[in-house]
Amino acid sequence: MQKVLTRIPIHVLSQDIAERIAAGEVIERPVSVVKELVENALDAGSHEIRVDIRGGGLRLVRVTDDGYGIPEDELERACARHTTSKITALEDLGRLHTLGFRGEALASIAAVSELTLVSRPIESENLVEESAAALITMRGGEVKQRGQRARLHGTTVTVRDLFYNVPARLKFMRGARTETGHILQLMRRYAVGFPAIRFNLTIEETVALQTGGTGDLAATLAELYQLPLAEMLHPVSATAEHYTLHGYVGNRALAQSSRQHIMLFINGRWVHNRPLQDALESGYRGLLPKGKHPLLVFYLELPPGDLDVNIHPAKTEVKLLHESEIVTALTQAVRSVLERSPALPSSPSFPGPELVYQRRLPGPRRRGLHVAESALLRSFSRRSSSPRRPMAACIS
């Protein structure tokens, strides 16, 4: 290809273009919208969070919460860039107790979709005079409508026509089924990360995931996987100078063919950190057949100052001050539990040849523990009007 050498003078991009480019870093695909809205709902102290999806999230994402709400005079500001109620000074990053802090999620979503924010602050319910929730609709970053609606305290954010004004991004979107699969996986993570919150996900008006919010992680996992998991999960906890950790280590019968069931939360945030995930997996070294990965959930609590979450706009990548110490601790924690697990032979040949394990303890597929999502997701793309069992119940 021949390069065009005519140079255009350096100029400032229009705000509209700059906004859409910036939005691309935070909102990569529909699941990013769900992530940001659910995190806002969690930061607002919600007990119940409902998510509705249509068209893989490109047609509609709606997140409804019962959190503390947003006052009417702050609605528009909430949708502007660099506006937040979560930090005021740079030092606050070192004592962060919220999932959000960048003040750009709603602005990014509003720049590339039609976003309607309806909110009623919790305080308004104590007022003698009846007050309604306030509403604002933005399209492509511009205010299109304001109004009032009846609702109890909390917030509902509805996002329609995602990427309608970013054709380049739309072109790269996979089918609704793929996007829905990502959303389901994300919601499963939140349900595990926050067992005290009631989550409800509907896809094309069919319940796909539901949790009771009892606060009991083993019960939540059983709800999500619809299996008597309790006897296959071994609790773990440890405390040291720089961390405390607790969680559950799944025994080998729960091994899956993907890594998505290895869930690590640091200070309540699901994190994607390869060295830490590898550390957890290496606790199983020699115990799982090739290509199989464990099901395990770890919650790590660190002093907020020992964690840097401000390294990527999606806030799932983190840097740890004492990473190598924590890597060792994670592997040891898994290992120590597995060595005591009744699913392991007590013979000195531990861990023993793979085939012996296979015969004694059939693999997940034969035991009916394989998490089969594809058939379910196919059924969503067909869109049936008949009420269905919750998707989480369908594990082959």
Ligand X SMILES: Nc1ncnc2c1ncn2[C@@H]1O[C@H](COP(=O)(O)OP(=O)(O)OP(=O)(O)O)[C@@H](O)[C@H]1O
Q: Say whether residue 100 binds Mg ion (CB under 5 A).
A: yes
Query: In sequence order, what are the beta bridge partners of 118?
Result: 135, 156
- Residue 101: CB minimum distance to Mg ion, A: 8
Helix (H), strand (E) at residue 38: helix 30-43
What is the spatial distance between Cα 109 and Cα 115, in angstroms, rounded to a whole number?
7
Q: Say whether residue 105 binds ligand X (CB under 6 A).
A: yes
Q: Say whether residue 67 binds Mg ion (CB under 5 A).
A: no
Q: Which of residues 28-47 bind Mg ion (CB under 5 A)?
A: 40
Q: How many CA atoms lie within 13 A of 71 on its CB side?
A: 5
Among 103, 304, 345, 363, binds ligand X (CB under 6 A): 103
Q: Which of residues 37-66 bind ligand X (CB under 6 A)?
A: 40-41, 44, 65
Q: Say whether residue 108 binds Mg ion (CB under 5 A).
A: no
96: CB partners within 8 A, 6+ apart:
86, 87, 267, 304, 309
Asked whether 300 and 265 are in contact (CB, 8 A), the reply is yes
- Residue 100: CB minimum distance to Mg ion, A: 3
What is the spatial distance between Cα 248 and Cα 172, in angstroms, rounded to a whole number?
37
Q: Say whether residue 184 binds Mg ion (CB under 5 A).
A: no
Q: Write the binding mask 138 to 177 for ligand X: x where contact by CB under 6 A, - elsewhere.
A: -----------------x----------------------
Q: Say whether residue 247 binds Mg ion (CB under 5 A).
A: no
Q: Which amino acid is at 113?
A: S
Sign of CA dihedral 82, 83, 88, 91: negative
Output 117 or 254, the one with its CB closest to ligand X. 117
Q: Say whether residue 116 binds Mg ion (CB under 5 A).
A: no
Asked whether 203 and 391 are in contact (CB, 8 A), the reply is yes
Q: Which of residues 291-310 bind ligand X (CB under 6 A)?
A: none
Tokens of 213: 């919010």
The alpha carbons of the chain give a radius of gyration, in whole angstroms, of 23
Give SS3 for 209: strand
- Residue 314: CB minimum distance to Mg ion, A: 12
**Shortest Cβ contact with Mg ion: which residue?**
100
Q: Say whether residue 24 binds ligand X (CB under 6 A).
A: no
Tokens of 66: 């019962």
Point out which span in 101-109, 166-174, 215-223, 233-241 binds ligand X (CB under 6 A): 101-109
What is the spatial distance between Cα 264 and Cα 281, in angstroms, rounded to a whole number?
11
Q: In what order do the strands lie in the sheet with 133-139?
A: 142-149, 133-139, 114-120, 154-160, 60-65, 48-54, 198-203, 206-210
Q: Say whether residue 273 binds Mg ion (CB under 5 A).
A: no
CA dihedral 23, 26, 27, 33 (to 10 degrees): -120
Q: Say whether residue 124 binds ligand X (CB under 6 A).
A: no
- Residue 71: CB minimum distance to ligand X, A: 10
From Mg ion, ligand X, none, interface partner of 247 (C-beta below 5 to 8 A by class): none
Q: Say whether residue 78 binds ligand X (CB under 6 A).
A: yes
Output 104 or 114, the one with its CB closest to ligand X. 104
Q: Say whether residue 33 binds ligand X (CB under 6 A).
A: no
Point out which span in 66-74, 101-109, 129-137, 220-228 binds Mg ion (CB under 5 A): 101-109
- Residue 96: CB minimum distance to Mg ion, A: 12
211: CB partners within 8 A, 6+ apart:
191, 195, 197, 198, 199, 200, 220, 223, 224
Q: Is the peptide bond before 351 cis (omega within 30 degrees of 0)?
A: yes
**Shortest Cβ contact with ligand X: which residue?**
100
Residues of this chain that bind ligand X (CB under 6 A): 36, 40-41, 44, 65, 67-70, 78, 83-86, 100-107, 155
